[in-house]
Structure 1
Amino acid sequence: MGFFSGRVTFTRFKLTGKAPQLFDETQLELLANNAAGRQRLVSADGIETGWTAGAHILDTNFELAKNIINDMLFFSLRIDQQKLPSDLLRAYYSVDLQALSANNPSGKPSARQKREARESARERLEHEAKDGRFIRRKAIEIVWDRKSHEIYFGTTSVTQLDRLIVLFRNTFGLTFDSLTSGKIAFNLAELHQQTRNVDDAAPSNFVPGTTPKEYAWILDESSRDFLGNEFLLWLWFRADTDRETLKLSDDTEAVIMLARTLTLECPRGQTGHETITSEGPTKLPEARRAVQSGKMPRAAGITIVRREEQYEYKLIAETLGISGLKLPNTGEDDERAQLDARADQIRSVIETNDLLFEAFIKLRASSDWQKELRAMQKWLHLEAKKENPADQE
């Protein structure tokens, strides 16, 4: 159970409709009725989906003690895909074709024999596949947090999202929306009556004459997901100018550091992307040069200390998804207490992340942003001067 042991990766989604008063046998029964291998949902491409109970990829035994932890419902989406091995298909075809054309006077197979060999080879392989020997199974963990009424989907990829949406709706009668950085920004702006400023926001001109006005990876003109990219650059700026301690709206403080990894990409989609791996990637000259050339951060390794607890993870800019989250030891001896404490830790990380983003959005949507933007422009300009001493002559 990755959410409750080891490193954690997930993307958040907000459920529509009313949250249940509590999780109980009702939800477990619904999961069991749609369990993998029992009542499977088969898509047009032949891929089958169903739920598992999370202990392992074949586990369909849903239990209160195992699947309900601290007001969280834990389960997994299993995806079964039939993958006929192409090398074996070619081998069967070759063998069958040789047998069919063995008596040909020309020594060469006819078009009809080639067609028959292809058909017989596929039929043979599909017959063998009936016992499931060629099925590839993959499970993605899911947490439904009743307190926040959110889904934590255990991946930062959206490849399997459509399958999750369909199966979840068929199981629980509920749908959900993605919580991207733009949508979270709108939600947070409502708290400070700043929604108009977020709605009117356009990409900031961090490097005048160089920073693009549009981001190639954001296709929806109404999206404000570029605020996630600006958020990462702002955190970089704060940490690099010795202002890594942030006062949050709940009167706590968070110390932020960017470490281990940094991914940058050209918003124009012209010069590609680069990933820098280092203990301090933002300190390296190539990282600063990338931003000076117009690239923006799309993901960054973050270390945060808040309430005397330290969290490490990679933050994805547009979705605010979390990857490789390392949680501190809970300090609990009892196994159940450890699980409950870990659930609280996950909530604490999400709360901290949201509070940090709130601090940025509150500033970004205020009249003070222009002053901050000028400081960031100067910061980038000075770094360019340091790297190009000849420009100072």
Structure 2
Amino acid sequence: MDLVDLITEKRFFGQEFLTWLWWKSEERGGSVEIPGVGDIAVVFEKHMLLEIGEAEYSERLVCSGLQTELREARTGLRTGKKLEQARIHIVKGEYEWNVTLGASLFEYRSVRPPKTAASSADQTAPPEETEGMILEKIFLFEELVRIIDDLFRLYLEVRAGSEWPTELSQIRHWVEKADAKM
């Protein structure tokens, strides 16, 4: 089995993770608890891409708008579409990120890191300050990757654990409940 086949075969993990994370964030009003880290605010917003099928037989549904308008995306889940991409707002402590996460390849797109004092600093700063600003941006990107990794690790622990059937049932109920409100 070559790498492309392996990616194609396992892409459902990223899609399932995004769906689980969306449900998990709504379960507690936009907050997900990561053991050992604490509560992280996770809000799905404005843009989602859902897919069904493969290659020339694929169908895509792009949902955009306010969070309350993402009912269409949940209806897409109900009809068998898989969440392939989502715009997510993440808050940890005083830091806020916006990122579009691609499910199949776990791609980070359109990352908007937190604003910092260095963000608005003069571009004619001495080299030491410029280096500090670059290191701060690297730290903030690494922190985002750590948060997403922690969330994925939490998902994998649940997915591989004995509580997965119960959690899956709750996710299915969440999807069906959204459709009943329409």
- The amino acid of 1:255's aligned partner reads A
1:272 matches 2:59: yes
Q: Structure 1 length as normaliser, TM-score?
A: 0.40
Residues 1:288 and 2:74 aligned together: yes
Structure 1: runs of 5 or more not aligned: 1-177, 179-217, 388-393
Contact 1:267/1:294 (<8 A) preserved: no
| CA–CA distance in structure 1, aligned partners of residues 96 and 105 of structure 2 | 22
Q: Tell me, in whole angstroms, the C-alpha distance in 1 between the residues paired with 2:170 and 2:108.
A: 29
Which has the larger share of helix? Answer: 2
Asked if 1:375 is matched to 2:161, the reply is: no
Structure 1 segments of 4 or more deviating over 4 A?
A: 268-271
Q: Distance in 2 between matches of 1:381 and 1:307?
A: 33
Instruction: Indicate the residue corresponding to 1:220 in structure 2.
Output: 6
CA, structure 1 residues 283+236, in 2 after alignment: closer, same or farther (shift >3 Å)?
farther
> What TM-score results when the alignment is normalised by the length of structure 2?
0.83
Partner of 2:115: 329
Q: Which has the higher contact order (CA 8 A, sep 6+)?
A: 2
Q: Which residue of 2 aligns with 1:356?
A: 151
1:182-201 deviation per Cα after TM superposition (whole angstroms, max 9, x unaligned) = xxxxxxxxxxxxxxxxxxxx
For the residue of structure 1 that corresponds to 2:85, the secondary structure is: strand
- The structure carrying a bigger strand percent of its residues is 2
> Quick check: 1:267–1:296 contact (8 Å CA) kept in 2?
no
For 1:277, give the aligned amino acid.
Answer: S
Residue by residue over 1:86-141, the C-alpha shift from the partner in whole angstroms, topping out at 9 and shown as x without a partner, is xxxxxxxxxxxxxxxxxxxxxxxxxxxxxxxxxxxxxxxxxxxxxxxxxxxxxxxx
- What SS class does the counterpart of residue 329 from structure 1 fall into? coil
CA–CA separation in structure 1 for the residues paired with 2:155 and 2:145: 15
In the other structure, the counterpart of 1:254 is 40
Contact conserved, 2:71 with 2:179, CA < 8 A, in 1? no
Q: Deviations over 1:352-387 (max 9, x none)?
A: 110111111111110101110011111122222223
- Once superposed, what is the RMSD of the aligned Cα atoms? 2.3
Tell me, yes or no, if structure 1 residue 307 matches structure 2 residue 62.
no
* Alpha-carbon distance in 2 for matches of 1:230, 1:347: 24
Residue 135 (structure 2) aligns with: 340
Confirm or deny: 8 A CA contact 2:7 2:104 kept in the other structure.
Answer: no
Give the unaligned 5+ runs of structure 2.
Answer: 122-128
Q: Is the 8 A contact 2:64 2:70 kept in 1?
A: no
User: Aligned partners of 1:337 and 1:221: how far apart in 2?
Assistant: 38
Q: Matched residues in 2 for 1:302 and 1:285: separation?
A: 16
- CA separation in 2, counterparts of 1:231 and 1:225? 10
| 1:1-393 equivalences in 2 (<5 Å) | 219-220=5-6, 223-267=9-53, 270=57, 272-280=59-67, 283-332=69-118, 334-387=129-182
Does the 8 A contact of 1:313 with 1:323 survive in 2?
Answer: yes
